[in-house]
Amino acid sequence: MKTVLILGAGIGGIEIARELSINSGNEDDIQIIKIIVFEKEDKSVFSPSLPWLMVGKRETDQIYKSTKNIEASGLEVVKGEIENIDPENISVTVKNKTFKGDYMVVSLGVEQKAKFKLDDYGYNFFQLKGAEGFHEQLEKFKGGKIAVLVSSLPYKSPAAPYEAAMLIQDYITNKGLSDKTEISIYTPEKEPMEFAGEGPSSELKSLLEKKGIKYYSSHQITSASKDSLEFDNYENYNFDLLAFTPEHLCPAVIRKSSLVGKSGWIEVNELSMETAYPNVYAIGDIVELKLGSGIPLPKLGVFARSQAKIVAHNISRRIGNKEANKTFNAEGQYYIESGDGKAIPAKAHFYDPSSEKVEVNSPDNWGHIKKWWSEKYWLFKNF
Ligand SMILES: Cc1cc2nc3c(=O)[nH]c(=O)nc-3n(C[C@H](O)[C@H](O)[C@H](O)COP(=O)(O)OP(=O)(O)OC[C@H]3O[C@@H](n4cnc5c(N)ncnc54)[C@H](O)[C@@H]3O)c2cc1C
């Protein structure tokens, strides 16, 4: 029996563990793969629902499940922080115990850090606690300035701050506070969703404008206080309520390992997701995949999932002494909530040179329903 070590039970890790467990039995129901999943957190949060939590469209306990619940036949969960990774020997150490495998898939996501004491002055809505705290303050809000800040690049889900701002604007309008409220986005990016190209970027910008959301591009924060933000162009802006994205780093356990590449992230073969070490793969946010244009592939759950499916398929084939025959194609669909029960459907195909990298359509109810469904399906299917 071959052992597959899966590092991290987030979106990529759960998807690959599930796929492998489906492939792991033969017709006599004999397990031919042993799957061990390593995870430090008790709660497995569905991050795409965090913007809904910020504006009270979800309760906290509706968007996470217990990590333990992913255990299924042929799938074992080891709870604890991974302290060491040895890709050469395909092994990991947790609480001083070392586990050895035949294959390893690293899906540890990003490490988040609040710069400039932003945690003291606002809410990191990329985490459960921050999104929940922001909502508590929003409920008490009587008007004033709301800031949505992108504190550094890169960050996952590059539409999330725009989505959050549009949902906040919707909430404020429904509460009858729009005359007394100013919502602003501050970001170091030159344009919203730069990676998507000029068309989608300017469509999103004009939607923000139509909704009265102010957009300050090329603004890199340099310091913060309890009610103001300072930027690298020496401009200062006050706020009454702040939501921010944290700095994203490659997790420390990888930074100290030989898996980290020049980019500061794990670098892999863009088709197979295999690292420089045989039988060691990396998927999801922890990977830096440079596209032809030099821009990295955006860090999105939709890609973590499709990479997981391909790697699971190929590992199963290799275990059965067959050729690995699937490749990642950087295609995916996602939905950007825009308020009023609508979402912008966006379709990406980054490896296809013959078409636009991203196609976006006007916000519609159907997009919102699809996003709603993907949340329900994920939480139902996996736990
Ligand atoms: C607000 C928000 C909105 C989003 N919206 C969308 C969307 O609409 N569509 C979309 O496609 N994507 C969206 N995303 C992005 C999506 O959530 C991520 O791209 C996806 O979760 C990446 O999956 P992953 O497996 O790489 O990492 P993660 O899901 O972050 O999982 C990594 C796991 O590794 C664990 N871990 C880390 N270090 C260790 C360690 N040392 N030991 C043990 N365990 C460890 C972590 O606890 C975590 O569970 C959104 C993200 C946010 C924050």
19 forms beta bridges with none
Whole-model pTM? 0.96
Residues 231 and 118 occupy one common structural domain: yes
The residues, ordered by sequence, that sit 6+ positions from 165 with a Cβ below 8 Å of its Cβ are 148, 183, 185, 208, 213
Q: Is the peptide bond before 154 cis (omega within 30 degrees of 0)?
A: yes
Task: Confirm or reject: Cβ of 38 under 6 Å from ligand 1.
Answer: yes
286 and 300 Cβ atoms separated by less than 8 Å: no
Average pLDDT of 334-351?
Answer: 95
Residues 218 and 119 occupy one common structural domain: yes
Does the CA dihedral 359-361-366-372 come out positive or negative?
positive
CATH at 74:
3.50.50.60
Q: How many structural domains does the chain have?
A: 2
The residues, ordered by sequence, that sit 6+ positions from 178 with a Cβ below 8 Å of its Cβ are 169, 172, 212
User: DSSP character for 337?
Assistant: E
Among 145, 131, 122, 117, CA closest to 222: 117
Q: Which residue, of 331, 349, 378, is where some domain finishes? A: 331
Q: Convert the pLDDT of each residue in 233-262 to its tens digit.
A: 999 999 999 999 999 999 999 999 999 999
Task: Confirm or reject: Cβ of 41 under 6 Å from ligand 1.
Answer: yes
221 and 102 Cβ atoms separated by less than 8 Å: no
Task: Confirm or reject: Cβ of 109 under 6 Å from ligand 1.
Answer: yes
25 — pLDDT class (breaks 50, 70, 90) = low
Task: In whole angstroms, give the CA distance from residue 108 to residue 246.
Answer: 17
Atom of ligand 1 minimally distant from the CA of 131: 1
User: Which range among 35-39, 183-187, 192-196 shows the weakest confidence by mean pLDDT?
Assistant: 192-196
- In a domain? residue 375: no
Task: Confirm or reject: Cβ of 311 under 6 Å from ligand 1.
Answer: no
Residues 154 and 188 occupy one common structural domain: yes
pLDDT score at 75: 86
Atom of ligand 1 minimally distant from the CA of 285: 26
CA 40 to chain centre: 17
Q: Residue 340: what are its φ and ψ, rounded to 5°? A: 60, 30
Is pLDDT at 311 greater than 70 in this prediction? Answer: yes
Q: Residue 371: what are its φ and ψ, rounded to 5°? A: -65, -45
Atom of ligand 1 minimally distant from the CA of 50: 1
Is pLDDT at 372 greater than 70 in this prediction? Answer: yes
How many of the other CB atoms lie within 10 Å of CB of 85? 24
pLDDT score at 51: 98
Q: Convert the pLDDT of each residue in 75-96 to its tens digit.
A: 899 999 999 999 999 999 999 9
Q: Which one-letter amino acid corresponds to residue 286?
A: I
Residues 89 and 129 occupy one common structural domain: no
How many of the other CB atoms lie within 10 Å of CB of 225? 13
Residues 220 and 259 occupy one common structural domain: no
Task: In whole angstroms, give the CA distance from residue 308 to residue 12.
Answer: 6
pLDDT score at 30: 55
Task: Confirm or reject: Cβ of 160 under 6 Å from ligand 1.
Answer: yes
Residues 136 and 227 occupy one common structural domain: yes
Domain that holds residue 22: 2-110+250-331
Does the CA dihedral 210-369-361-184 come out positive or negative?
positive
